[in-house]
Amino acid sequence: MDVNAAVAAAAAIAGVATGVIAMLAFRWSERDQKRPTRTSLHIDPVLPPGVDTVLSVLRSSAVVLDEADAVVKASSAAYALGLVRGGKLAIEPMVQMARDTRRDGEIRQVELDLPRRGTGRGEALAVSARVAPLGSRLVLLLVEDLTEARRIEAVRRDFVANVSHELKTPVGALSLLSEAVMDASDDPEAVQRFAGRMQIEATRLTNLVQELIDLSRVQNDDPLEDAEPVRVDELVAEAVDRCRHQAGTKQITMAAGGTADLHVWGNRGQLAAALGNLVENAVNYSPARTRVGIAARRINAPGGDMIELAVTDQGIGISDKDKERIFERFYRVDPARSRATGGTGLGLAIVKHVVASHGGEVTVWSAEGQGSTFTLRLPEAGVARDRASQHPDPDLDDEAGGPTESSPYEPLPAPEVLP
């Protein structure tokens, strides 16, 4: 009996001990499950209140990184720029900036040139990256695209340099010629010759200043402020009259035709200047005894009828590489010929701005040795007001591709000797 009682007591004690141990193990396990671990902190970080909302309205590309450099939050712009790929920040210099900021808490900023995604061109994206700590464990990266701003600044810088160069040439010539006149005061024939050269240079300087004023005006003015229905026939007649003397000197025949009684809506002075520049270029770059034609017609377009004005010449033509740049300010296909004819290199830039501000477009067809056709497409009066209010800013596309090459008109036949 005593042995059986002892065994029973021992079994009871062992059962109680087992139960106590099991209860303690269960409580310990439950407490471990509730305790946050390093793994849980790494996988599911929490953004500070309001940060998500702020990031969604920022214009800059935004990326939030955790302590393991994993992306916690990224804006759609960050994905579009190619900053985030596969849940990781893809730009190594930015990753290193984030690590340095996480280590010492200092705000860092740097400008970088990044390869452009999805293009075969060698162009680079210019960006400004700024990294700052966000709480105790997160890092915020803000990236701003500076590519367009740099391009515009380069265009303006080149424009100022070109203006300075173009003004310096006639001014310097006038200075030298005036000295020559003084030295030749006893030679009437030399004085007359130098005075004639001075008059040519003064005319060139006047034309350059006037075209700079015209270009500034068409860039800054709203053509709809003084808009009116403009007869296309009158624009063509004015352009022909403007170049009649010059064409007669070279025995160039000027012919106008096409549909009569067409109207466009806009600033008469600007439209006349644009068409006049095209006709003047056609005469200047055409050999003697050739033809220059101006034709107008109405075409159907999805947004409303358009008026096409085509100026065709039998001149020297334009190469493919030059066609990409002929509408840039001060760009000349043949610099020597342009200086001989008094060209400033601003005529086609003015044409582009005028047409764009009126809601239209300008295109060019050309082949070397066969001539060129410049075509203006302008909304017909009645639909032009809506079209012009949606035109792009022509100041931003001087380098963004050249004009399209298209023409509904056949080129004029090969040059023929006219009586």
> Could you state, in order of their start, the residue ranges of all structural domains in the chain?
45-145, 147-220, 223-419
Confidence of residue 236 (pLDDT cuts 50, 70, 90): very high
Whether 268 has a pLDDT exceeding 60, the answer reads yes
Q: What is the pLDDT of residue 25?
A: 54
Token pair for 313: 């010449």
Q: Which residues pair with 133 in a beta bridge?
A: 139
- Percent of the chain at pLDDT > 90 equals 13
CATH number of 45-145: 3.30.450.20
Confidence of residue 384 (pLDDT cuts 50, 70, 90): very low
Whether 318 has a pLDDT exceeding 90, the answer reads no
Domain 147-220: top CATH class: mainly alpha
For the chain, state the CA radius of gyration. 37
Beta strands 138-145 and 228-231 are unpaired
Q: Would the CA dihedral through 89, 93, 98, 102 be positive or negative?
A: positive
What are the Cα distances from residue 204, in Å, to 68, 133, 163, 180, 197? Answer: 67, 60, 13, 19, 11
CATH 3.30.565.10 fits 223-419, yes or no: yes
Least Cα distance to 56 among 76, 71, 72 occurs for: 76
* Element (DSSP H or E) covering residue 115: strand 108-115
Q: What is the pLDDT of residues 2-16, one digit of tens each?
A: 556 665 666 666 665
Whether 37 has a pLDDT exceeding 50, the answer reads no
Regarding predicted confidence, which is higher, 158 or 352?
352
Q: Which of 27-36, 328-337, 359-368, 396-405 has the highest mean pLDDT?
A: 359-368
CA dist 233 and 311 (Å) reads 14
